[in-house]
Amino acid sequence: MYGQVCVFRFNKIGPTKSKEKIFKVSHPRKVLIKKSRCSSTLYKIIKSDLIKLHIIQFLIDTLLSKWECGLISFSKKGGFMTASEVLKVLRDEKVRFLRLQFTDILGMSKNVEVPESQFQKALDGEIMFDGSSIEGFTRIEESDMLLKPDYSTFRIFPWIEKGGRVARIICDVYNPDNTPFSGCPRLALKKIVQEAHELGFNLMAGPEAEFFLFQKDEHGALTTRTHDAAGYFDLTPVDQGEAARRDIVNDLEKMGFEVEAAHHEVAPGQHEIDFKYADALTTADNIGTFKLVVKKVAQDHGLHATFMPKPVFGINGSGMHVHQSLFLGDVNSFYDENGTHELSKTALHYMGGLLRHAKAFIAVTNPLVNSYKRLVPGYEAPTHLAWSLKNRSPLIRVPAKRGQSTRCEVRVPDPSCNPYLGLAVMLKAGLDGVKNEIDPGDPVNKNIYKMSQRERARLKIDSAPKDLSDALKHLSKDEIIISALGEHIYGRFVNAKKHEWQEYISKVHPWETERYLANY
Domain spans of the chain?
2-76, 83-181, 191-511
Is it true that 83-181 and 191-511 share their CATH fold?
Answer: no
- Is 500 catalytic? The answer is no
- Is 155 catalytic? The answer is no
- Is 263 catalytic? The answer is no
- Is 265 catalytic? The answer is yes
The CA distance from 173 to 168, in Å, is 15
234 CB neighbour count, 10 Å cutoff: 16
- Is residue 105 a contact partner of residue 496, using CB atoms and an 8 Å limit? yes
Instruction: Report pLDDT for 311.
Output: 93
- Is 37 catalytic? The answer is no
Instruction: Report pLDDT for 381.
Output: 85
Instruction: Report pLDDT for 4.
Output: 33
Task: Answer whether CATH 3.30.56.10 is correct for domain 191-511.
Answer: no
The CA distance from 8 to 182, in Å, is 26
* Nearest to 493, CA basis, from 20, 191, 84, 106: 106
- Is residue 31 a contact partner of residue 56, using CB atoms and an 8 Å limit? yes
Tell me which residues of the chain have a pLDDT lower than 70: 1-80, 133-142, 228-240
Instruction: Report pLDDT for 217.
Output: 82
The helices-and-strands tally (H runs, E runs) of the chain is 14, 24
Identify the active-site residue in 227, 411, 474, 492. Answer: 411
Instruction: Report pLDDT for 74.
Output: 42
Identify the active-site residue in 104, 265, 336, 478. Answer: 265
The CA distance from 469 to 496, in Å, is 12
Instruction: Report pLDDT for 34.
Output: 40
- Is residue 190 a contact partner of residue 180, using CB atoms and an 8 Å limit? no
**Residue 325 CB contacts under 8 Å (≥ 6 apart), including other chains:** 203, 204, 332, 333, 334, 347, 406, 407, 408
Quick one: fold of 83-181?
Ubiquitin-like (UB roll) (3.10.20)
Identify the active-site residue in 228, 242, 251, 272. Answer: 272
- Is residue 387 a contact partner of residue 340, using CB atoms and an 8 Å limit? no
- Is 272 catalytic? The answer is yes
